[in-house]
Amino acid sequence: MRQFSLALLRHISSSTAPALTGTCRLHSWHCFTASRPQYRSIVPPHSCQHTRTESTAASQHIQDLSGPEQRLLNKLYDGLIGGQRASLAECITLVETQHPRKKELAQVLLQRVLSYRREQESRNGGKPVAFRVGLSGPPGAGKSSFIEVVGKMLTGRGHKVAVLAVDPSSCTTGGSLMGDKTRMTELSRDMNAFIRPSPTSGTLGGVTRTTNEAIVLCEGAGYDIVLVETVGVGQSEFAVADMVDMFVLLIPPAGGDELQGIKRGIIERAELVVVTKSDGDLVVPARRIQAEYTSALKLLRRQSKSWNPKVVRASSQTFEGIPEVWAKMEAYREAALASGELQGRRTAQQKVWMWSLIQESVLCHFQNHPGVREALPHLEERVTKGAISPGLAADLLLRAFSSSSSSQ
């Protein structure tokens, strides 16, 4: 298994021969069997030597798979590209698993899907083929109701909509607490929609570590609009903003003064603020909140040169304002595409995604290191008794980790 785990490292290191210069880019992933067609590369002609070296490493990676594993990944990939919702659900389950071997298989599958998506984007003039929207807000803002109404409207217009609803986790069972899928009854029965609830499993940011990978899989399955609903716990807004094209904040009327949003630090990341439940007796409070947030936004520094954040009102019950909300989203996308900001944002997000996974993997490796595990109980006991400071204990654990690693 260790040999298989180092396959991606071999894949990268094998392309860094002394005769080559520059950073190698991942070549389009070849099919698992020789009978399957290969995808054309979009790598520039001057990197052909890089491509040949990378293809050799990729073939070695494929050889590490057993026959049943190859057949499983072929089945999942074909079903995913064919738009089968069951295959998409299985693929997301595979990337969410904590099993070491299955995590490795998930990375192989993701490489194929990423290559397929790159080819689609090249045919689309280098522009993204899907629109990613992150939605968040405090509990009771009506996020699930808003998503269902918007989703039904979009599927009625010919779009395919994927909803990734990230729920808080139960401390007892580890599953989702809110059950957002069960609250989107109409949308869940729509054949052009896909709803995937995912428990946070203790993730502080309110989005799971695999949410970004699930977005890639949804796009590979042909969903041109991906909605990511987060827990709305404060930090989730920053986490989801690093993986979507547009961040939308949903706030209920009569939810406090306009400073509440600024104090939470979420207004500065929002491209669009939607005041929900603007119907009945709440119309007047909704108008007041809209005016207050509009004034508050003028005090903040612009995050985009091509777009000024907007504040709109909408009602999921009466459908009032829903088409206008989507029109604002489309206007933002067109402006971001025309200015190139959307493409630049996705490029920066890839780097953020990589480093977040590195931090998680390094922490896991540190916690499971023999030297750390041996010294940890004693140091924890001394810290709880006040014999040493937590900072000193951390330094000692890092020293044990680095000394053991260097000796190996």
Q: Tell me the CATH number of domain 62-123, given options 1.20.5.170, 3.40.50.1370, 1.10.1470.10, 1.10.510.10.
A: 1.20.5.170
Backbone angles phi, psi at 251, to 5 degrees: -130, 140
Judged against a pLDDT cut of 90, whether residue 194 lies above it is answered with yes
Q: How far is Cα 33 from Cα 321, in angstroms, rounded to an integer? A: 51
Question: DSSP assignment, residue 65?
Answer: S
pLDDT of the residue at 58: 47
Q: How far is Cα 380 from Cα 27, in angstroms, rounded to an integer? A: 47
Judged against a pLDDT cut of 70, whether residue 63 lies above it is answered with no
pLDDT of the residue at 177: 46
Q: Which two tokens stand for residue 201?
A: 């499993």
120 within 8 A of 209, measured Cβ to Cβ: no
CATH superfamily of 128-340: P-loop containing nucleotide triphosphate hydrolases (3.40.50.300)
Q: Which residue has the higher pLDDT, 265 or 114?
A: 114
Backbone angles phi, psi at 193, to 5 degrees: -130, 150
Burial pattern 347-375, b for ≥16 Cβ within 10 A else e, equals: eebeeebeebeeeeeeeeeeeebebbeeb
The pLDDT tens digits of the residues spanning 289-339 come to: 899 888 888 887 777 888 999 999 999 999 999 999 999 999 999 999 999
Q: Report domain extents, the chain.
A: 62-123, 128-340, 355-403
Per-residue confidence band for 99, with pLDDT thresholds at 50, 70 and 90: confident
Per-residue confidence band for 151, with pLDDT thresholds at 50, 70 and 90: very high
Q: How far is Cα 295 from Cα 269, in angstroms, rounded to an integer? A: 16
61 within 8 A of 7, measured Cβ to Cβ: yes
> CB under 8 Å to 370, separation ≥6 — which residues?
404
Report the largest interatomic distance among the alpha carbons of the chain, rounded to a whole angstrom.
72
Average pLDDT, whole number, for the chain? 78
The pLDDT tens digits of the residues spanning 361-401 come to: 898 889 889 989 999 999 999 999 999 999 999 999 999 88
Same fold, 62-123 and 128-340: no
Per-residue confidence band for 209, with pLDDT thresholds at 50, 70 and 90: low
